[in-house]
Amino acid sequence: MTMSVDDRSLVNWPSYAQARAELGANFVRILGYFREDGLKSVDAIEAAMRARSAVALVVPAHTLKGEARQFGADPLADLAETIEVAARDCVERRDAPDLILEAVVKLRPLFEQTLTLLEREANPLVLRKPGGGFGRRAAV
């Protein structure tokens, strides 16, 4: 399966590589936590939207933003931040979050698509580009 130009833009690959290097052997486990926590955040955001509760949107959007940023999932983090900021504005104005609906509708598909890319790249069985990897010396 090849990545499209749009797929490649869903992840800041240098940031991803940095997180992978910093987390080392813990990377796959922490990516698994991102899957679990991210799904909980997306579920909570959707539930808050159905309840028209701006207050209930803030924390899960903030959490998702930070976790996504950690893995270089910048478009996902940006969308979560958009939801968080708009929800905070609604809380301050004591207004329903109706204008956030469009962003919330985009959230789950973007989360799922991004997570697929992150997990595919983290899979040790993924076919890598020739010139590096196990049993080959990288060109210097």
pLDDT, tens only, 77-106 = 999 999 999 999 999 999 999 999 999 999
pLDDT for res 21: 94
Say yes or no to pLDDT of 4 above 70. Answer: no
pLDDT for res 137: 53
Measuring CA to CA, which residue among 68, 91, 63 is closest to residue 78?
68
* Tens-digit pLDDT profile for residues 5-53: 467 799 999 999 999 999 999 999 999 999 999 999 999 999 999 999 9
Task: Report CA Rg, the chain.
Answer: 17
Q: Say how far apart CA 60 and CA 56 lie, in whole Å.
A: 8
pTM attached to this predicted model:
0.84
Burial of 119 (0-12, 13-18, 19+ CB in 10 A): middle
If DSSP codes are grouped into helix, strand and coil, which group holds residue 9?
coil
Say yes or no to pLDDT of 134 above 60. Answer: no
